Chains A and B, each alone.
Chain A
Amino acid sequence: MTLLSLSIARYARIAALACLLVAGISPAQAAEGELTIKIDQGTQSALPIAIVPFAGEAGPTDIAAVVRSDLARSGQFNPMPPEDMPSRPSAFGDINFKDWRVVGMENLVVGKVAASGDGGYVVEFRVVDVFKGTQLLGFRIPTEAANMRLTAHHIADLIYETLLHRKGAFATRIAYVTVDRRSAKDATYRLQVADADGYDPHTILESKQPLMSPSWAPDGGRLAYVSFEDRNSAIYVQDIRTGGRQKLVSGPGINSAPSFSPDGARLVVTLSRDGNPELYTYSFASRQLTRLTYHASIDTEGVYSPDGRWIYFTSDRGGGPQIYKMSSDGGDPQRVTFNMGNYNSRARISPDGKKIALVHGGKGYRIGILDLGSNSFDLLTNAALDESPSFAPNGDMIIYATMGGRGTELAATSTDGRLRQRLAVQRGEVREPAWGPFRNQ
């Protein structure tokens, strides 16, 4: 049974990026507002898997525990609790297959961590098919203490891809806005970036005035957002590593709802400088705005389709808010949401371009998903005030904001609605989650 060494170019690139990211953000903020995860609704049909605690666990991270938690959160796996495991092998030769077959375990992950002498660590793991008695995957990954959680997320991604033949999205990040409200006129707004499982949050912007609508650049290096720091909405873009930021669009009226084009060259934005909210594009190269919509109604919340050909947006030109689409160069909008009630807004397009998640008003406000091919529409959530859906870059999960006991908090659901979970911060409200792109692109 061979082990592939992951110190190949692809992983080196990931590791280099990770080092940069960690170095660029002040570690003083690390413990602030950490998220905890609670699974509200589990699933019966998830794939059983046993992630055996890694031998020689050295370093600050329980890698097997992080992998277990990642796979459980996806809704696709049902990891075995360590206390139920018949034995704890760490190498292929140590596995007694009969024991695992008896407990009905189809897939096994074994591994070990060793100090590498230069202050770093080497993590080794194998994914094993219990019934065939064969190794499906084996890797040896060099890492260091500060990157061990990221290494664990990469291992979870590799297991996910090996067993489900779809990319995992565990080694990704989320951005969101937190609010500490002391009174109606005294609040602190923070734009934060954290790992997709809520760990290691970093505040990248803090303001006494509202912050809104974080949107990731496709390269994962920048965020566009709306800030009211000048006493009106204005659109900014900020480099996550350096903290350097730039005001892109301001002026009379609304300056809001930025969203990147797939090539990163443009933003679609909502501005009301010409009298009422209309969609425009902002080009980073020319710094010019181009107006796309012309209608005396609200047009807002524009997003590009993944192929860049279309812009989906919310408009109340037909009465209540509904989703429309038009060519990304402008042109006649076509309505997308029909016979789905009076309130459908804030579309987000799945990474494969085949589905849209949206906010559906009716009996409360819930996250719905519309299949653009079949036109079938399903509600994924059932709380009273759910909003701001955002797809994981592999399309398998949607993160959104929901009303919790102390205000808005984050929740996630699998795109098939089988699993839902809450991600709660320790204090204040959390809203407008935006799931970042794959980090190895």
Chain B
Amino acid sequence: MKGTMLKLALVITMSAALAACSSNKAKTDSAQAGARTTDQGMAGAGANGAASQGLGDGSNLAGGALNDPNSPLAVRVIYFDYDSANIRADFNDTVAAHAAYLAQNASTIVTLEGHADERGSREYNLALGENRAMAVRKQLVLLGAAAGQIKIVSYGEERPAVDGHDEGAYERNRRVELVY
């Protein structure tokens, strides 16, 4: 817990530029994914497939740390081993920093997007991606975040971060992305 407290202190210290976050608040509501059936001829396929980003209500003091490239909060992707939903030791500090941030900013919501590499069946990988996101949520909650601050969505192998069909690509696709 000592490490966590240190991280927390760091987060609070580095959160001077609080005003910045409100301008970064994305319009999650208007981000239409927009599937359409071709025969219905619905106009417009909508905006795009980018992950929605919301920075809470913009009133929290620590918001600026999210934008600080030197903060541990700048690490937004947690990688996993093959067919595993266990958080690796090298990501414990990252998870702890995000837990501390969420604990400090009770109105902040984070979405955990779970992903898998392309090997094996798609539906099983969808479940595996969710298991990974759940493992991160469990750890965040253990370290002080409220369950209600955390949303989970699994994309399975449907949205790879990296193209390619070798271990180099796979290890970067087995991941949970934290999207604020």
Residue ranges of A at the interface with B (Cβ–Cβ < 8 Å): 24-26, 29, 181, 184-188, 202-213, 227-233, 238, 242-245, 252-254, 256-257, 270, 272, 276-277, 298, 300-301, 314, 316, 320-321, 343, 345-346, 359, 361, 365, 384-385, 387-388, 403, 431-432
CA distance A277 to B121 in the complex (A): 15
The contact sample of 16 A-B pairs, CB cut-off 8 A, is: A26-B38, A29-B38, A187-B159, A204-B39, A206-B38, A209-B49, A230-B33, A238-B37, A254-B154, A272-B130, A277-B127, A301-B121, A314-B124, A316-B124, A346-B122, A359-B121
B37, A245: Cβ atoms under 8 Å? yes
- Docked Cα-Cα span, A301 to B126, in Å, equals 10
Given the contacts A185-B49, A272-B130, A298-B128, A210 and B155 also touching, CB distance less than 8 Å: yes
For B152, what are the chain A residues with a Cβ–Cβ distance below 8 Å?
252-253
Range class of the B interface residue count: 35 or more
Give Cα A320–Cα B124 distance, bound, in whole angstroms: 11
For residue B50, which residues in chain A have a CB less than 8 angstroms away from its CB? 185-186
A138 to chain B, nearest CB (A): 39
Binary interface encoding of chain B residues 29-58 relative to chain A, with 1 for a CB under 8 A from any of its CBs, else 0: 001011111111000011111111000000
Q: State the total of A-B contacts with C-beta under 8 angstroms.
A: 153
Interface residues of B (CB under 8 A from A): 31, 33-40, 45-52, 83, 118-124, 126-128, 130-131, 134, 152-156, 158-163, 165
Q: Using A205-B35, A243-B37, A253-B152 as known contacts, list a sample of 4 further A-B pairs with CB atoms less than 8 Å apart, ordered by residue number in A.
A: A202-B38, A233-B153, A243-B40, A403-B165
- B interface, by DSSP: helix, strand, loop or mixed? loop
CB–CB A231/B123 < 8 A: no
Partner of A211, one of B35, B52, B119, B161: B35
Partner of A346, one of B34, B121, B160: B121
- Contact status A229-B33, CB under 8 Å: yes
Asked if A385 and B126 make an inter-chain contact with CB atoms under 8 angstroms apart, the answer reads no
Question: What distance in Å separates the Cβ of A198 from its nearest Cβ neighbour in chain B?
Answer: 19
Chain A residues with CB under 8 Å of B33's CB are: 207-209, 228-231
Are A207 and B45 in contact (CB-based, < 8 A)? yes
Is the beta-carbon distance between A228 and B158 smaller than 8 angstroms? yes
- Contact at B160–A345, with CB atoms within 8 Å? no
In Å, the complex CA distance between A367 and B58 comes to 51
Which residues of chain B come closer than 8 Å to A25, judged between CB atoms?
38-39
Question: Nearest residue in B to A202 (C-beta to C-beta)?
Answer: B38
